[in-house]
Chains A and B, each alone.
Chain A
Amino acid sequence: MSEISGMPPAAVIQARVSTALALPSRLRHTALLLVATAMAGVTGALALTEPGLPLRTRLALGALAVGGVAWAMFAGWVLARREVLFGRHRLIAGWMAVGFSAVLTMTSAVAAWMDRRTTMWLPATGVGVVMLILAAVLLHRAHGDVRALRTRRDALRAALETHEVAS
């Protein structure tokens, strides 16, 4: 594209778009969403279900849960509005979510099995299971959407090749 007076070069826009699409920055908020959700879920469940906690401990856990919810909402908003995830980003984010939730669930379950004197690990295990199910659903949907897009891409390429041959 030739340079036009006053117009920012396309290369500048392309560089900005590439930076905006850089994987680490886009997945940073996915990681924040996962960690914040887990933190909110675990601390919230403990505050609500664990018997015999002193009031100040319960309040501290509740405050941590509220903080986790706030961070999760912020990360969700960024991912929905500012750093939207495209096909391959959604697949990677989906696998990240599945992996993180699986680790959380297994760690909590092992801790619950090893420390049978208390039930404090059970809510964390429950939160992990719920997160794992949600992550699996999101990953399944991402795979379906990407498969549909690839099919459409291949069909369009074939249609354009046919058009070029015909003309």
Chain B
Amino acid sequence: MPDPTIPAHEPLADELLVVRCLLGEAAAFDELVAHWHEPLWRYLRRLLDEDEAAADAVQDCWLRVLRSLPRLRDPARLRPWLFGIARRTAMDRLRAEYRAPVEADIDPETLMADPQDDLREDQLAAMHAQLQRLPLVEREVLELFYLRGLSLAQLVDVLAVPLGTVKSRLFRARGMLRAHLLAEDLSS
């Protein structure tokens, strides 16, 4: 479910920004940072769960963006490309920190069809607070899908997993989040 707050012409604007950057227009790089810095930082903050680590990571991420921009084949796909770089930056840091793979294997038993049930507005608002309590994999997929407006197809690119895995992660993450929200409702 794409974020309804994203204007329909945004891919065109994104592509224009990338093309101007590729031409070497200094103002375009400023606009790119102004537009995407906060979403990338919030995503990294969510993944790394620490202000200082997220601040370092977002600077590293922007350097990587700068160096990789000429290799962006489809400028209209700026959004998943940026989050893909941010994700790799975060994973590199986590790997260096823990010296172990951070991705948990998906249990085949949990692979189920997306029930397509939408979350209510109040649950989406509460998600911001509850998201931090979820494990990394589930937190990440909810962040990208609901809060950063990436489509399922874009998630396939960013997370580098098949569509079925994206759906199963999303399904499981929503279930976990729902359980957290219900538990909070009961306790309050």
Contact = CB atoms under 8 A, between A and B. Distances in A.
Interface in B60-117: 62-63, 66-67, 69-70
Contact of A14 (B19, B24, B29, B58): B29
A152 B70 CA distance: 15
Contacts of A82: 67
Nearest to A22: B26
B133 interface: no
A22 B29 CA distance: 12
Nearest to A26: B24
Interface of A: 1, 4-8, 10, 13-14, 16-18, 20-21, 81-89, 146, 149-150, 152-153, 156-157, 159-160, 163
Given A81-B67, A153-B20, A160-B16, A21 B29 contact: yes
Contacts of A88: 23-24
Contacts of A83: 67
Contact of B12 (A1, A13, A86, A159): A159
Nearest to B65: A17
A8 B41 contact: yes
B38 to A, nearest CB: 6
B176 interface: no
17 contacts: A6-B54, A7-B38, A7-B55, A8-B55, A13-B37, A13-B62, A14-B34, A16-B62, A17-B33, A17-B66, A18-B30, A21-B26, A86-B70, A88-B23, A89-B24, A153-B16, A156-B16
B62 to A, nearest CB: 5
Secondary structure dominating the interface of B: helix
A25 to B, nearest CB: 13
Nearest to B41: A7
A146 B23 contact: yes
Contacts of B19: 149, 152-153, 156
B8 to A, nearest CB: 8
B93 to A, nearest CB: 15
* Closest 10 A/B residue pairs (Cβ): A6-B51, A86-B24, A88-B24, A87-B23, A156-B16, A10-B37, A87-B24, A7-B41, A163-B9, A153-B19
B177 interface: no
A17 B35 CA distance: 14
Interface string B8-22: 010011011001111
Contacts of B148: none
Contacts of A20: 63, 66
B66 A14 contact: no
Given A10-B34, A17-B29, A17-B66, A87 B54 contact: no
